[in-house]
Amino acid sequence: MNVKLLNPLTLAYMGDAVLDQHVREYIVLKLQSKPHRLHQVSKSYVSAKSQAKTLEYLLGIDWFTEEELSVLKRGRNAKSYTKAKNTDIQTYRKSSALEAVIGFLYLDHQSERLENL
């Protein structure tokens, strides 16, 4: 299957799950705390605002390949039928763009690149 041909919102859906799993694993191993505290900390990493800031940083250091930039733009520009929660539409689109790239890397089995991210 050519992962690049998947709907960018599908890639973002997958990327959201992958990011959440990685963040939870990192926090559980690092903090070894109660579930409520773990949830509070994980929210700060997986929030749309945090993802948008991460995206801006990575764009600023030219981290993405041309292929990833293409996926990123498709993810950012995709028409979503869900409303942004607790953030503005621009921040939501940036976070969806980053999630799309994460989903793309995961489904394309680019595990080393994903880990670097």
Catalytic residues: 16
Q: Count the neighbouring beta carbons within 10 Å of the beta carbon of residue 88.
A: 11
Q: Count the neighbouring beta carbons within 10 Å of the beta carbon of residue 113.
A: 16
The answer to whether the beta carbons of residues 19 and 107 sit under 8 Å apart is no
Instruction: Pick the closest to residue 16 from 82, 81, 106, 113 (CA basis).
Output: 106
Q: Return the CA Rg of the chain.
A: 14
> H helices then E strands: how many in the chain?
6, 0
